[in-house]
Structure 1
Amino acid sequence: MPPSLSIITATYNAESDLPNLIASLVAQTDADFEWVVADGNSTDRTLELIDRAKSQLRTVKVDSRPDFGIYDAYNRAIKLASGDYYVVVGADDVLFPEAVANYKRACAETGADLVTACYYAGDQLIAGIRQPAWEWLWGMHAYVTGHAVGLAIRRDLHKEVGAYSRYFLLVADQFFILQAIRQGARVVFRDFIAGRYSPQGTSSCNKLGCIVELYRIKVKLGHSLLLSTLVMLCRVIKNWSRIQEQRR
């Protein structure tokens, strides 16, 4: 029996983005999946749009309440989900029609803890793992293409590794995935394009915060303090104009 799949989305006042995501879910060639939405108590038409989607999708689960940010929402959604694996898809992301079928096939064939695939980040195709695969430089991208859209995660992995940490508000996915790898999680890369990720998410809007959090994660995981500091400084310099623009 093939593994079951949950699509997990965190929303907050996302009525302008959701129609495209919902259309991409309705267009899946394999309709046997559940859509699990953790909403942050939206005040616009977000919940109305999700409710309408129930007539078009096989299973839709919604939990709406105030939360502590996107990873708190993911943790709620994971508890509500029933799939053997889950894929995080943002409210402003889309999946390509074969995504669910391809992920389910790859999970069934490999039994891997993490199945990672290609995806578009905006117009840029992310077509593989960063090379050389140096964790000290790339973080989780030394093992997976990305978190949202480009990764199917075995849901029970959270029982072994833990939930997404509240101590990292911007890149808790990095901490979770790197912890899972260190505890022996098996990763498989499959060469299909899962969808399109919007690079305008929370982490993208706070570049300096992401750089600092990733530095803290590397130090916490035991990477060289000196090397991690040098990498952080290089990233600050490289992204200086963007950081200055976000401060305005």
Structure 2
Amino acid sequence: MTISIITATFNSRQMLPILAESLLNQSDLDFEWVIADGGSTDGTIDFIKGITGINIKLSVKPDFGIYDALNNGIRVATNDYYVVAGSDDYFYADAIANFKREIAFSGADMVTSRLNFCGTEKGVLGGDPAINRQFAFVSGHAVSTAFRTALHQKFGYYSNKFPIAADQDFILKAAHAGATIHRADFVSGSFEPGGVSGRDFLGTLTESFRIQVKYHNKFQQMALFFYKVIRYYRTWR
């Protein structure tokens, strides 16, 4: 059994080598790296084409953002499970082997590990998903969770309605519908929050609120939203 690593790229030449090196250094090299590129012009594509030693599938086509690119990558992927990795993320050496072991052991729809987040080890928060969102079920979307590819046949692909937080929507939709989730006891790698969600706090908060009210009490979510906005402005001032 093998898995796919899926990465969306666009002018990622400066960041990509660290992720590439971490994949080349895996103890288990039986995986495919699917790269969905939106039309890079900075040498990203040439860099990818120069990588040898691992199975790479490169798809170059215009997209409408990271989640549309990930959807393109999922359609190209040929394996039963996939793990998302950002261009500036990286995996620890036994990550692929550990994911395979835990998938075979659990047979779960999602296998979520711990990860290094900004220098701190992070696991599943658990608790109430009305408060902790997708982190009540998984430690994170990229690097730390393997998804059964067939989940997208049941629940759809990442929605272009949520360009910042489509992963939150997909994970909550699948979890509330009964998708099985296994918490694995290993650290998969490091996630670096350098995307839009890390830069646009209010945009992320607003989009997350729109998702949360789909699955939870809207009045509770409104109260949480305004609490977070007030806390943000107090910190910003």
Shorter-chain-normalised TM-score: which range? over 0.9
- The aligned counterpart of 1:115 is 111
User: 1:10, 1:241 → 2: CA distance?
Assistant: 35
1:35-74 Cα offsets, whole Å, 9 max, x none, are 0000110010100111111x221x1001112210000000
Shift of 1:240: 2.7
User: 1:108, 1:240 → 2: CA distance?
Assistant: 46
- The aligned counterpart of 1:176 is 170
User: 2:7, 2:31 → 1: CA distance?
Assistant: 13
Matching of residues 139-178 of structure 1 within 5 Å: 139-178=133-172
- The aligned counterpart of 1:90 is 86
- The aligned counterpart of 1:26 is 24
The one-letter code of the counterpart of 1:134 is D
C-alpha root-mean-square deviation of aligned residues, in Å?
1.3
Shift of 1:141: 0.4
Q: Which runs of structure 1 show a deviation greater than 2 angstroms over 4 or more consecutive aligned residues?
A: 237-244
Q: 2:114, 2:124 within 8 Å by CA — same for their partners in 1?
A: no
- The aligned counterpart of 1:186 is 180
The one-letter code of the counterpart of 2:125 is R
User: 1:243, 1:71 → 2: CA distance?
Assistant: 29
Q: What's the secondary structure of 1:193's corresponding residue?
A: strand
1:134-180 Cα offsets, whole Å, 9 max, x none, are 11101100110000011000001110111001100100000001110
Please state if 1:56 is matched with 2:50: no
Q: What's the secondary structure of 1:203's corresponding residue?
A: helix
Q: What's the secondary structure of 1:87's corresponding residue?
A: strand
User: 1:196, 1:33 → 2: CA distance?
Assistant: 19
User: 1:168, 1:145 → 2: CA distance?
Assistant: 20
Matching of residues 35-74 of structure 1 within 5 Å: 35-53=33-51, 55-57=52-54, 59-74=55-70
TM-score of the aligned structures, taking structure 1 as reference length: 0.93
TM-score of the aligned structures, taking structure 2 as reference length: 0.97
Q: What's the secondary structure of 2:40's corresponding residue?
A: coil
% identical aligned pairs: 41
Please state if 1:16 is matched with 2:10: no
Shift of 1:219: 1.1
Equivalent of 1:210 in 204, 207, 215: 204
Equivalent of 2:230 in 231, 237, 244: 237
Please state if 1:224 is matched with 2:217: yes
- Where in structure 1 are there 5+ consecutive unaligned residues? none
User: 2:235, 2:157 → 1: CA distance?
Assistant: 31
Shift of 1:237: 2.4
Q: 1:122, 1:198 within 8 Å by CA — same for their partners in 2?
A: yes
